[in-house]
Chains A and B, each alone.
Chain A
Amino acid sequence: MTVIETDVQDGRPRPQRGAKVLDAEKVVMRFGGLVAVNNVDFDVHEGEIVGLIGPNGAGKTTFFNCLTGMYKPTSGTVRFYGEVLPPKPRAVVKAGMARTFQNIRLFGNMTALENVMVGRYCRTTSGAITSVLHGPKYRREEAESRARAAELLDFVGLGKSAELLARNMPYGDQRRLEIARALATDPKLILLDEPTAGMNPQETQQAMDLIFKIRDMGLAVVVIEHDMRFIFQLCDRVLCLVRGEALIWGTPGEVQSDPRVIEAYIGGSELEDDEDDA
């Protein structure tokens, strides 16, 4: 399939599509009798924002979990820069894939800054001994982590909230904090599970700007969203899942005009959130 699009998007230059970051082939995820994800092919390239849409219970979050090692797919392969990663979230993060959660999973009793510093964990290696002795490595990494975390908080617009406890922050800020925490792991690909759920139109607009900024930093982005307008403005390509199957996989224009998508959404009743366990 080809992507024919203009060079400008939302008033910004669209970066060149680069190498293939993520490549999922025939991914199947079964829970007992339920086939939550059925034979889905998917790929993401450098410099791309890819959307994942579909009615509630379509299997979007489950598909994310398969990509990020939270679930081991029943069958099919997921390659990251050509390599099959072990189905361990930690290995996946280390390789350069970070995510946020549909139902926010921040560390509520840590400050915003500390939350983001936890994201730096996998890029630092100070052990117990240097931590106790306050060795040079500890000092360097601690300062570096702190600086980077502060920088990322500024980047997502939470520079002033660094010392707030995550649980005390407004909902929209928590979503942005999750993004900052994911960015702290130095990912090449970031997967956002409904980043605007529960946001008002203004916050949604800010979120969109943020996602563009992330893309402009050189990251590939995958976004799960319900809001059609949001996804069509934002994404280079869109995959529509329905009942675990890929209904259509193409440019926003192609997906938008497909009668099946509209039908799936109307047939798929309301678009409210349901609680996921991931």
Chain B
Amino acid sequence: MNFVIPTIPDATRAQHASKGWPLALAGSVLLLVSGLLSWSYDPSILGDISIAFWPATFQLFAMILGVIGIVLALMHQGPLSKLGNWFDAALGLRALGTASLLVILFGLFAISYQAGGLININPGGWVALLGAILLLVGGRFVPQRTLHSFAKAKANSTLEIVVIVVLMALVLFGLAYVLGQDDPWVFVGFLIMAGGAAMALARAGFFTWLSHISQRHRHVLTLAAFAVAFLFPFTQDGSDANMSIATQVLIFAATAIGLNIVVGLAGLLDLGYIAFLGSGAYVAAMMSNAASATIGWKPPFVVVMLIGACVAATLGLIIGSPTLRVSGDYLAIVTLAFGEIFRLSMFNLDGNNGPDLTNGPNGIPGIPDLNLFGFDFGKPHEIAGFTLGRFSNYYFVLLLLIGFIILVFTRLNNSRIGRGWVAIREDERAAEAMGVNTFALKLLGFAVGAFLAGLAGTIKAHQDTASSPDQYIFLESAFLLSAVVLGGMGTVAGVLVGATILKLLPEKLRFFSEYRLLLFGLLLVVMMRVRPEGLIASKRRQLEFHEDDEALASEIQQDHLVEKAAEAAR
């Protein structure tokens, strides 16, 4: 955040220290109050922000920022000041000030753009702007307090579990909210608000604390996350539109996590990963009950899944075994070529050239919905008074699949195999000299990744109801890789975030989809410069990307020691 607004010299800050806190607090209160006022005369824009005491969209955003600001300010000085011993309220306030100003300015701009001029802004908007400016200026003068390390914090399990659950509920709420927004202005405003609030909390050390407590309650966290994901369709009121996007995100995320095994764990660059998803999808399509399915044998779907996954894994072995012996660059080129070969093969295996397997460019349309154990995926079902539509059915299966893929990811990562992968990434020749079978391990990573993608593909075929070559173009591989790079190499959470952003943005911002390649390209370039390890990187990957950063190394070391001490204490 300090890129945007220059920091203030410490001496100046010390001089005006006493003025910072009241300003920041006043600013936060103003933000909160502004949410209760009318922002615009025009009720037709931005989800109606014209009514006082009935906050919507930007009014809500201002109130959320205001509440966070008040809490941070009271942590610095006031009734919550004990918490200020642990959390860096000053840094949090500074980041929050910048974020608030951005959100409010964006909101005011949105109003005047849509309604035609600044004249349409009601006092609420101006109050919010004043609040944001006060918070920004005040925050900059709040001096930092000396902090205790979380290592010394007394653990309070009940509280921690409550925090985790509440946080997950908030995530659910936020996701449901953002999916429900059709107005791109509100969507972007929400993103800025959420990103800014997250930034402020991160600066205050909230996420460091969160990572400490989630270490202690890993199972609670996983359970809560899955519970939230499970509950999500129930918030959608039987609307298939959002569930369709959600299943898209899940398929994409599942595939991206599989790719992260290859890229993030085994350290191999795969530019044709979509072909493995395609292999699974085509196997499922060819063996389905579609009119144009080309294979007469119709085994149960579970068998089809296994076959699809094994076909993909076999292709992975065939591509991997000659190339993984040589340096990584060859693999990138060969996988790139393989992706194209796959697509062209699917395009051409139509009976005119070679056997009729794929129906050529037309693909295999009309794939019927899954029917597992008498449960028809094509029909809506009524559960506890909630109607769950077709996409919800697929959503639940995909949730299971993603759970399985995450299990494979984390368990391999924490095994002998995972250690072997790290050793290879660090120093392949030394690993070999210590007895690590580098070739077999790389091949394994490649094949496991292909297997999981194949698995996902078989479900995708039924959900899409069609399989055609144009679904598996190089661009899709590039997007998958972007999700990994953007989200974070070597972590599940990172890829989930990356995949959600990459899938959701183009769905919600139609006007944006024309420029999405350009924008993703820019985003990646910026990420490479600013944070090459991705949004949520694994500590190991972070270290790898910053070999010379002693401070980072000792910080991560400290965290690790604290975790180990806590583990030993249990």
Contacts and interface: CB of A to CB of B under 8 A. Distances in A.
A244 B415 CA distance: 43
Given A109-B544, A128-B444, A163 B561 contact: yes
A209 B561 CA distance: 30
A139 to B, nearest CB: 11
A185 B408 CA distance: 27
A108 B27 CA distance: 47
Given A90-B436, A128-B444, A118 B431 contact: yes
Contacts of A122: 434-437
Interface string A119-162: 11111101110011010001001100100000000000000000
Given A68-B433, A89-B433, A128 B412 contact: yes
Contact of B423 (A118, A123, A164, A278): A118
Contacts of B423: 107, 110, 118, 121
Contact of B433 (A93, A127, A145): A93
- Majority-rule SS of B interface residues: helix
Max count, chain B CB within 10 A of own CB: residue among A114, A131, A181: A131
Contact of B437 (A90, A111, A165): A90
A101 to B, nearest CB: 7
Interface of A: 68, 70, 89-90, 93-94, 98-99, 101, 105-111, 114, 117-124, 126-128, 131-132, 134, 138, 141-142, 145, 163-165, 167-168, 181-182, 185, 278
Given A109-B543, A142-B416, A165-B556, 16 more contacts: A89-B429, A101-B433, A107-B423, A107-B426, A118-B423, A118-B434, A118-B436, A121-B436, A121-B437, A122-B434, A122-B435, A126-B416, A131-B411, A141-B416, A168-B553, A168-B554
B427 A107 contact: yes
Contacts of A114: 419, 422
Interface string B348-367: 00000000000000000000
B82 to A, nearest CB: 31
How large, as a class, is the contact surface on chain B? 35 or more
B564 to A, nearest CB: 5
B433 A118 contact: no
Interface string B422-457: 110011011111111100000010001000000000
A128 B451 CA distance: 12
A105 B427 contact: yes
B417 interface: yes
Contact of A138 (B415, B433, B444): B415
A117 B433 contact: no
Contact of A132 (B411, B416, B431, B554): B411
Ranked 8 nearest A-B pairs via Cβ: A122-B435, A93-B435, A131-B415, A105-B430, A107-B426, A109-B543, A89-B433, A118-B423
B170 interface: no
Given A68-B433, A185-B434, A142 B422 contact: no
A210 B235 CA distance: 65
B557 interface: yes
B148 to A, nearest CB: 22
Nearest to B411: A132
A89 to B, nearest CB: 4
A117 B419 contact: yes
Nearest to B435: A122
A63 B419 CA distance: 30
Contacts of B433: 68, 70, 89, 93, 99, 101, 105
Contacts of B422: 107, 109-110, 114
A185 B547 CA distance: 27
Contact of B560 (A105, A107, A124, A163): A163
A107 B420 CA distance: 11
A111 B563 CA distance: 13
Contacts of B218: none
Interface string B68-83: 0000000000000000
Interface string B152-179: 0000000000000000000000000000
Contacts of A128: 412, 417, 444, 448
B427 A118 contact: no
Contacts of A111: 560
Interface in B65-111: none
Contacts of B510: none
A123 B420 CA distance: 13
Nearest to B420: A121
B540 interface: yes
Given A165-B557, A167-B553, A90 B432 contact: yes
Nearest to A138: B415
A110 B426 contact: yes
B231 interface: no
Q: Which of A70, A105, A121, A134 has the most CB of B within 10 A?
A: A121
Contacts of A168: 553-554, 557
Contacts of A119: 434-435
A56 B422 CA distance: 33
A124 B416 contact: yes
Given A128-B444, A131-B417, A145-B416, A108 B426 contact: yes
Contact of B434 (A121, A124, A163): A121
B241 interface: no
A68 B411 CA distance: 33
A61 to B, nearest CB: 13
A121 B435 contact: yes
Residue among A117, A126, A132, A182 with max Cβ neighbours from chain B (10 Å): A132
B261 to A, nearest CB: 10
A98 B423 CA distance: 16
A174 to B, nearest CB: 13
A120 B554 CA distance: 27
B441 to A, nearest CB: 9
Contacts of A127: 417
A120 B434 CA distance: 9
A15 B214 CA distance: 54
Interface in B531-570: 540, 543-544, 547, 553-554, 556-557, 560-561, 564
Nearest to A94: B435
B553 A165 contact: yes
A121 B544 contact: no
Contacts of A117: 416, 419
Contacts of A164: 557
A132 B417 CA distance: 10
B407 interface: yes
Nearest to A101: B430
Interface string B217-244: 0000000000000000000000000000
A99 B433 CA distance: 8
A167 B543 CA distance: 10
A142 B547 CA distance: 29
Contact of B411 (A89, A90, A134, A145): A134
Nearest to A105: B430
16 contacts: A93-B434, A94-B435, A101-B433, A105-B429, A108-B543, A110-B423, A111-B560, A118-B434, A119-B434, A121-B434, A121-B437, A126-B416, A131-B412, A131-B415, A163-B561, A167-B547
Given A101-B430, A107-B427, A109-B544, A118 B554 contact: no
A99 B429 CA distance: 13
Residue among B416, B429, B432, B553 facing the most chain A CB atoms (10 A cut-off)? B416
Nearest to B541: A109
Interface string B37-76: 0000000000000000000000000000000000000000
Contacts of A181: 434
Contacts of B448: 128
Nearest to B408: A132
